[in-house]
Structure 1
Amino acid sequence: MGIRFGGDYNPEQWPEEVWAQDLELMTAAHVTMVTAGIFSWAKVEPRPGEWDFGWFDRVLDGLAGAGIEVCLATMTASPPPWLSRAHPEILPEGPDGQRRWPGARQHFCPSSPVFRAHAVRLVEQLATRYADHPALAMWHVGNEYGCHTRQCFCEVSAQDFRRWLRERYGTVAALNDAWSTSFWSQAYGDFAEVLPPRTAPTFANPAQQLDYLRFGDQALKDCYLAERAVLDRLTPGVPVTTNLMPQHKPVDAFGWAPSMDVVALDFYQDPYVPDDHVRAGYVFDLMRSARGGQPWLLLEQAAGAVNWRPRNGPKPPGAMRLWSWQAVAQGADAVLFFQWRQSRGGAEKFHSAMLPHGGTDTRIFREVCELGRELAAVPGIEGTRSRASVALLADWQSWWALELDSRPSAALDHSHSALAHYRPLFEAGVACDVVPPDRDLSPYPMVVVPNLYLLTADHAARLAAYVRGGGHLVVSFFSGIVDACDRVHPGGYPGPLRELLGLRVAEFWPLAEGASVAVGGEGAHGGRADLWTEEIVPAGAEVVARFLDGELAGRPAVTRHDYGRGTAWYLGTRLEPALLRALLDDVRAAAGVAPVLPGLPAGVQATVREGAGGRYVFLLNHGCRAVEVPLPEPLRDALAPRAAAVTRVELAARGVAVLTGPGPEGGGGAAG
C-alpha cells in the first residue's frame, strides 16, 4: 500500500452530486485513504433510535470503488442536539459549576453513563453494518479526546471520581495518608465527603488535584475503551486507533498507546514560528516511541492556514511538502489532512483543505497532487523503522504535578523544558527517542531527564541501574522532589537521586522574572542561565561549572558524578541554549553518540528509516537558503530511481531529498 495519503472526508456537508467529483479529484491527487464519519452522528441517527445509513452506504461504496481505504470513525465526537435535550445530565460542568452547553462539539461528560450507552449503541450499529465492507481498513474512535472538555466537575463525575478513589486506595485512611489531609483540617471520614477540586477560596489540595488529573485521563480513556470493546467483538482483526494531539496535557500518550493498534496524531505547525519544525520533531519522536518504535499515522495537518490561532498564516510554497516529509522521515506511515474539501459554513470554513474554496486551479491543490505523486513513488518506506542513540524522558504524571499551584516558581513549564532539552539534540543531528521513565534504557548510551519533579523510588532505582551499568545520564533541576502522591521525599532534595548524583540541594532559589546569572569557571563553557538556581552541596560529585554572580556566586551550577561504570551530570539551573548545547555535546562525546550524518549544513535535518522495504535516508532543509549536503557514500534518489548515485545533494530552501542505498548507521535527527 505504501505511505497512506488523504484526509478527513465530510460528504454530509455537500450535495450528493458533488461526491462523484470528489472521487475523481481524489484519484487525480493520488489519495489512498480518508477518514470518514467523524461528525456524522446527527446525520445517521437524526432522532433517537431512528437510523439512516443509506447515504453513508453510498459514500463508502463509492470510496471502495475508487480503491480508497477508509479509516472509519465511530461518529461519537459530537452528540446530536436531541441527546442533550433529552438528557441534559450528559453536559459537562467546569470547576466553577457552570454548565457547558451544546452548539460546538465535545459537549459531553466523559463519566456520563447515559452518553456512553448511546455512544456504544451507535458503535454497535456501525460495526455490525460495515464489518465486511471492502472500504473498511481501520477504526477511528472518537476524535481528539480532551480537546475541549478536558475534565468535567459535575456530580456524575464526582460519583465516578469516588468510585475511582475506592479502587485506587481501598480505604479512607489510605486516601487521607496519600492526600496529606492532616494539613488544613481536610481529613475525610467517608468517601462520600470527597469532591472534585472545584473552585475553592485558595489553593486546592495538590494531591487531590493530581489524582483528578489522573482520573480525568482515565475517564476519557474509558470512553475510548468502551467503544473499542464493541469493535474488537464485532470486527476482530481491524486495527483501532484514535487521534492524539501534540503536548496534550489531559491525555497521557504513553498510557493510551498500549490500547491503540497504531498511534495516530493531529499536528498543525505554525508558519509564523520560524523553528516550529523542532517542536514537530519532538512530538513526532514521542509518537514513534510511544509504541516502541512502531510507525505511526499523521491523521490531521493543514494544507495551508488553520482557523483557530489569533493570526492564521498560510503555509508558504514548499512548506506543506517539507513538513509532510518530516513526519514520514520521523516514522509516519500516513500523511492525512483536515480536510478533503474546504467547508462553506461552520466554525472551520476558513481552515484550509486539500481542495480549497478556489477549486483545482490553486497552488494548494497543485502541491497536494504533487505530494501524493511523490509518496506513491516510494512504497517501500511503509513499515520501516528508525533507531535512536539518545533517549529523552517524559512523564505525564510528573507534568501534571509540576504545573500545579503553590510551587517555588509558577514559571516552570513542562513543554518548554522538554523542548529546551530536545533542541540541542535535534540541532546536533542526533537520533532521539522520547520515552517514559519505566522504559528499558539500556539500549541508549545517553539519557536526558528534564525536570522530572515527580519521581517514584522504583523509577529512580531504574535510573541508578542505568548509570551503574555504564550509561551517561543528564538530569536537570527540580527533579526527584516528590513521590506519586506529591509528598516530598524524605531526607532532603533531590530525594532518591542524591546518591546517584553525588550531591544534595540545600535550597531552591528561583530567579525573578527577567533575571539571569553568569555560569562558567576554569575550563568550563561559559554563558548565562535564568529561571532557576539551586544551592548545591557536592557529596562526591565534581563541579563542572559555577555561578559567577548573584546570591549563589561561587557555588556549583553543573556537576558530574562517576557512578558504577557510568556518569551522571546535574544541571542546577536553566542554561541558555548555546550553553546547554555545548554541555550536551560534551556528554555526547563522552557517551560516543554521533550524529546521523556528519557535516550537515545548518538547518538541514537528516533521518534514516530501514527495514524489509529497504533503507531510506531523508534530508530536509528547514532553512531559507539553498544548501549542498555532502554524503559519506553514494546514494540514489528514491524519487528519481533512474538517476545515478551521488555523493552530494543540492537542497533548495524547504527542499527534500529521499535517498536509498547502504547509508550510514543511525536514526533521526537534524543538523544545526
Structure 2
Amino acid sequence: MTHQTGTPVQHATATGQIDSAADATLLVDEDTHRWIPGSRTIRFGGDYNPEQWPRETWDEDIRLMREAGVNLVSIGIFSWALLEPREGVYDFSFLDDIIDLLWKAGIDVDLATPTASPPAWFYRKYPHARAVTREGIPLAFGSRGIVSPSSPEYRKASRAIASRLAARYASHPAVVLWHVHNEYGTPVSESYDDASVIAFREWLRQRYTDLEGLNDAWGTAFWGQRYGEWDEIDAPRATAVVTNPAQRLDFARFSSEALLECYRNERDAIREHSTQPITTNFMAITCPSVDLWAWADEVDIIANDHYLIGEQADNHIHLSRSADLCRSLAHGKPWILMEHSTSAVNWQPRNIAKRPGEMRRNTLAHVARGADATLFFQIRAGRKGAEKFHSALIPQAGEDSRKWREAVRLGGDVAALSPLLGSRAHARVAIAWDWASFWAQDLDFRPSADLDHRERIEAFYAALWRRGITVDFVHPAADLGTYDVLFAPASYLLDDDAAENIRSFVAAGGHFAASFFSGIVSTSDDVPYGAYPGQLRDVLGLVVEEFLPLREGERVALQDGAHGRVWSDDITLRGAVTVTSYNEGPAAGGPAITRNSFGDGTAWYVSTALDGDDLDGFVVGVLGAAGLPYSPVSDIETVTRFGEDRTFVVQINHGDVPGGAGVEGVDLLTGERVGSSELLAVGEVRVVEVSSSSSDARS
C-alpha cells in the first residue's frame, strides 16, 4: 500500500503495556531527566533490520527476541529508499506491519529517521549535493553516509521524511524514542562542495563580523594570505604545502556545527508532532570530527555506539573510557549504549571474536558506568552486504550456539538490574577533553610526529583505572567545582576562558596536573605573547624557553629512576619547585617534573611521556596530595552507583586471578549474599547492593 499522506496510526493498549509517556511509571526523576517512557529495568535490545528479511522471518525473530528478554529495538535506520521510493511518494506499509508486530509482542521501538543513507533517486536528481572530499572528489551513491550537510536539497528532503514519520507514528504506543540519523560524522565528517563553501563564509561572517577580524585571527599576514573580499574565501582544500592552520581549525568547527544543524532540522520536525524523547547515536571515542560538548544539550538523552578494538590487550579499559565520556556528556545522568557488538565486527584489519563471557563483561561495564539501556548492532546477522560478517544477537549459527546461549543469559542478567535504574556513578577526578584542541594539535607542522593526544589521555586514564578511580571527562572551561583533581594530559589549545577557569580551580584549592605541550595556543591556534606555555605559565609557576623533543625511540632517565620518551622541555622555574630532574638527554640537569603552589591549590607539570609504573607513581602522587583514596593496582574493575537510598557496587574481573574482596551485600545477578572476604572469580561479574557503611561513598 502506498500512502501519499501520512495518517497517524491509532492502537489499543495491549494487556500489561504502558500506553504513553504520560501513563508511564518511571524509576527515574522526570523533573530533572528525560528517560525512555515505560522503562522498568535496564533496556536491552538492538538494531533490527526486518526489511532485509522475508516476512516469515519476522515472527521467528520476535520469538527469539522475547526469549532473550529484548524490550527495545531500533528500526528504520537505513530504510529511506523503501519509505520514499520516489521523491514525495511515501510507503510506510512495512513499518506499519513490523511496529504492530513488535508492539503486540511487548517490544518497544526506537524509531529512526533514515537520513544517513539518501536513496538513489536523490543522488540522480541532485548530483551537486554529493559530499566532496578535500581533494575535490565527489562521493558517489552505493555505500552509506550523508551527502553534503549544507545542501539545501538534503536539508529539505531529510526534514520532510522526518516530519512524515513523526506525524504517522507519534501516537503509536510502541514508539518510545526517536533516533535521528545514524552516527553523525561517520563516514562523512566534512564536505568541500559549493553549498558548504557558501555556508562556511556565512559562518565566518557570524563569527568575525568583518574581514579585519578574520584576517587577524587567521594570521593571514603570513605567506601573503590576506583576504579583501568574503567571496575570496574558500574551504581549506588541499594546497601546495601547508594550508593555514587557523582556517582548517575553523572549518572543523564549522563542519561539526553543520552536522548539528542537520540534527536540529530533523529533531525540530519530529517535535512538531511528538513528545517522546529524541536522540542520535554518538561515536564519542571513535569519531573525532564532532564536538560533542556542543551536541550534548541538544539531545534529550545521550546515546553512544562503542566497538572494541579486538587486538588491544587492554580494550576493556578503553571501553570504560568511552563509557565515562558518555556519562560526562550526560552530566552524570543515565545514557544509552545504542550499539555495541556481541562478538567480532567486520571492519577492523583483524576482527577478533569475543571470548566466552566477554560480551557479558562488556555490557555490564557500560551499565556500571551509567548506561541504563544496552543495545547491540545487530539483532540478526545479515546474509548480504558489507556487514554480513558482523556479529549479532541472533548469530548465523542460530539458537544452537554458545553466543546465543550467552545472549539469553545476558538478557536475564539485565532484567535483574531494575534496582539500578536511575542511580548514578560519581567522580572526584576529571580529565580535560576538548575536541577543538585535538583538531588543532593534529594539524601540520608540529614539533614532533610522536605527539599523540589520544595516547596520552589513554595512558593517564589507564593509570587511574588500574587504581580504581572513577573518572569524568570535562571541557576545561566547564564547571570544575565538584572535582578534587583535574588532569590535563593533552590540552594543547586552551582559550582564555578555559585558562582562567583552571586558574580559578587551582586558586580555590584544586589539584591540577598538566602534561607536556599543554596550554601552548589559544582560540585560533595562536601562540600568546611570551614564553611557553602562555596559557598556563602562571598557574604552573614556570616557563618553557624551548621545546626539546626526543628522537624516535629515544628514552631519557630521570633522577628518581623513571624514564621518559617523546618529549622534554628547557624549563625555567618561576615559583615552582623541582620534583625530579633529567639525568640525561637534551634537558639534562633541568627540571622534568615540577610542583607549584597557586592560591590554595597545587599544580604539577610533567614534561615528558611517562609510562607504566613511572606514570602510575606520578598519578598516585597527585591523588595522595589531594587526599583521595586509591586501590592497589588491580584488574578488578569496581564502580559504585548511587541511588537515593541504595548503593550498588559493580565488580568485573578482567584478570587471571580471583580478587575484589571487601564488598558485602546481596548480588542482584544471583540473589545470593556476598561476604566481605569473598573473592570474585576470574571472568565473572557481580552487582552488589551494599549498605552505605560498607562502601566508600564517593570514590
> The TM-score by the shorter chain falls in which range?
over 0.9
Distance 1:566 1:107 in 2: 48
> 2-side partners of 1:628 and 1:310: how far apart?
34
Runs of 4+, deviation exceeding 6 Å: none
Q: Which residue of 2 is the match for residue 319 of structure 1? A: 358
Q: Is the counterpart of residue 397 in structure 1 residue 436 in structure 2?
A: yes
State how far apart, in whole Å, the 2-side matches of 1:644 and 1:407 are: 56
3-state SS of 2:272 partner: helix
**Which residue is 1:606 aligned to?**
638
Name the CA distance, whole Å, in 2 between partners of 1:571 and 1:529.
10
Aligned residue among 338, 347, 358 for 2:377: 338
Residue 558 of structure 1 corresponds to which residue in structure 2?
593
Q: Residue type of the partner of 1:37?
A: G
Q: Quick one: structure 1 residues 556 and 79, their matched pair in 2 at CA, closer, same or farther if it must change by over 3 Å? A: same
Aligned-pair CA distance for 1:442: 1.9
Kept in 1: contact 2:522–2:535 (CA 8 A): no
- Whether the 8 Å CA contact 2:217–2:246 is kept in 1: the answer is yes
SS in 2 for 1:441: coil
Aligned pair in 2 of structure 1 residues 283, 666: CA closer, same or farther (>3 Å)? Answer: farther
1:664 aligns with 2:695: yes
Question: Deviation of residue 645 (structure 1)?
Answer: 4.2
For the 8 Å contact 1:477–1:573, the answer to whether it is kept is yes
Query: How big is each residue's C-alpha offset from its partner over 1:137-193, in whole Å with a ceiling of 9 and x where there is no partner?
Result: 111111011111111111111111111111111111111011000001100011100
Q: Which amino acid aligns with 1:116?
A: R
- Which of residues 667, 674, 683 in structure 2 aligns to 1:654? 683
Q: Aligned AA for 1:513?
A: E
Match of 2:459 in 1: 420
2:652 corresponds to 1:627? no
Please give the residue correspondences for 1:107-506 in structure 2 after superposition, counting only pairs within 5 Å: 107-506=146-545
Corresponding residue of 1:618: 650
Query: How far apart in 1 are the matches of 2:619 and 2:185?
Result: 35
For the residues of structure 1 that align with 2:276 and 2:174, how far apart are their CA atoms?
Answer: 15
Question: Are the counterparts in 1 of residues 169 and 175 from structure 2 also a CA contact under 8 Å?
Answer: yes
Q: CA deviation at 1:296?
A: 1.1
The answer on whether the counterparts of 1:431 and 1:666 sit within 8 Å (CA) in structure 2 is no
Letter in 2 for 1:264: A
- 1:563 CA drift (Å): 1.1
Query: Structure 2 matches for 1:17-166, cutoff 5 A?
Result: 17-166=56-205
CA offsets, 1:54-84, max 9 Å, x none?
1110100111111111111011110111110
Task: Check whether the contact 2:181–2:280 (CA below 8 A) recurs between aligned residues.
Answer: no
Structure 2 counterpart of 1:527, which letter? A
Looking at structure 1, the residues matched to 678 and 48 of structure 2 have their Cα atoms a distance apart, in angstroms, of 38
The structural deviation recorded for 1:243 is 3.2
The 3 A distance-change label for structure 1 pair 146 and 171 is: same
1:488 CA drift (Å):
0.4
Equivalent pair of 1:161/1:212 in contact (CA under 8 Å): yes
Contact 2:218 2:247 survives alignment (8 Å): yes
Give, in whole Å, the separation in 2 of the partners of 1:391 and 1:16.
50
Q: How far is 1:88 from its partner?
A: 0.7
Task: For 2:381 and 2:204, locate their aligned partners in 1 and report how far apart those are by CA, in whole Å.
Answer: 45
Q: Aligned to 1:425, what secondary structure does the other structure show?
A: helix
- The Cα shift of 1:242 comes to 3.1
User: For the residues of structure 2 that align with 1:563 and 1:631, how far apart are their CA atoms?
Assistant: 38
| AA aligned opposite 1:655 | E
Distance, in Å, in 1 between the alignment partners of 2:298 and 2:346 is 31
Query: Is the Cα–Cα contact under 8 Å of residues 607 and 667 in structure 1 kept in the other structure?
Result: no
Residue 600 of structure 2 aligns with an amino acid whose one-letter code is: R
Q: In 2, Cα distance between the equivalents of 1:239 and 1:149?
A: 22
* Mapped partners of 1:152, 1:408: distance in 2: 29
Deviation at 1:651, TM superposition (A): 2.4
Structure 2 unaligned spans of 5+: 1-39
Amino acid at match of 1:576: D
Q: CA shift at 1:358, angstroms?
A: 1.4
Match of 2:569 in 1: 534
Take 1:385 and 1:32, find their aligned partners in 2: how far apart are those partners?
Answer: 22
Partner amino acid for 2:461?
Answer: Y
Deviation at 1:496, TM superposition (A): 2.8
Q: Which secondary structure state, in structure 2, belongs to the residue aligned with residue 12 of structure 1?
A: helix
TM-score normalised to the size of structure 1? 0.96
Matched residues, number: 658
Indicate whether 1:638 and 2:673 are aligned. no
**How far apart, CA to CA, are the structure 2 residues paired with 1:541 and 1:529?**
20
Task: Check the 8 A contact 1:110/1:152 in 2, yes or no.
Answer: yes
Query: Could you tell me how far apart the structure 2 residues matched to 1:644 and 1:40 are?
Result: 48
Contact 2:177 2:276 in 1 (8 A): no
Question: How far does residue 666 in structure 1 lie from its aligned partner after superposition?
Answer: 4.0
User: Match of 1:512?
Assistant: 551
**For 1:548, which of 557, 567, 583 is the aligned residue?**
583
User: Secondary structure of 1:574's match?
Assistant: coil
Which deviates more, 188-197 or 274-283? 274-283
Contact 2:549 2:569 in 1 (8 A): yes
Give, as a single letter, the amino acid of the residue that structure 2 aligns with 1:127: A
Q: Which moved more, 1:181-190 or 1:487-496?
A: 487-496
- Residue 99 of structure 1, CA deviation: 1.0
1:594 equivalent in structure 2: 629
The Cα shift of 1:244 comes to: 2.9
Output the aligned Cα RMSD: 1.3
**Deviating more after overlay: 608-617 vs 486-495:** 608-617
How far apart are residue 471 of structure 1 and its match? 0.9
- Tell me the CA shift for residue 653 of structure 1: 2.3
1:667 Cα deviation from its structure 2 partner: 5.2
Note the C-alpha offset of 1:491.
1.6
C-alpha distance 98-86 of structure 1, shift in aligned 2 (>3 A): same
Indicate the residue corresponding to 2:22 in structure 1. none
The question of whether the paired residues in 1 share the 8 Å contact of 2:639 and 2:649 is answered with yes
Identity within the alignment, %: 42
Distance, in Å, in 2 between the alignment partners of 1:416 and 1:40 is 38
User: How far apart are 1:391 and its partner, in Å?
Assistant: 0.8
Structure 2: distance between partners of 1:667 and 1:63: 41
Instruction: For residue 254 of structure 1, give the secondary structure of its aligned residue in structure 2.
Output: helix
Stretches of structure 1 lacking an aligned partner (at least 5 in a row): none
Structure 1: how far apart are the matches of 2:530 and 2:331?
36
Which whole-Å CA distance do the structure 2 matches of 1:645 and 1:479 have between them? 46
SS at match of 1:627: coil
Please state how far the C-alpha of 1:38 moved relative to its aligned partner. 0.3
Deviation digits for residues 326-359 of structure 1 (CA, Å, limit 9, x no counterpart): 0001111111100000101000000010001111
Tell me by how many angstroms 1:116 deviates. 1.0
| C-alpha spacing 1:666/1:190, structure 2 compared with 1 (3 Å) | farther
- AA of the residue aligned to 2:669: L
- What amino acid maps onto 1:174 in structure 2? G
CA deviations on 1:634-669 (whole Å, 9 max, x unpaired) are 31111122x23411333232211110111412457x
Match for residue 17 of structure 2? none
User: Aligned pair in 2 of structure 1 residues 105, 479: CA closer, same or farther (>3 Å)?
Assistant: same
The answer to whether the 8 Å contact 1:140/1:243 transfers is no
8 Å contact from structure 1 (residues 384, 613) kept in 2: no
Partner of 2:615: 580
Measure the CA separation in 2 of the matches of 1:485 and 1:660: 49
Secondary structure of 2:548's counterpart equals strand
Query: What's the secondary structure of 1:39's corresponding residue?
Result: coil
Q: How far apart are residue 113 of structure 1 and its match?
A: 0.8
Give the Cα separation in 1 of the matches to 2:657 and 2:518. 42
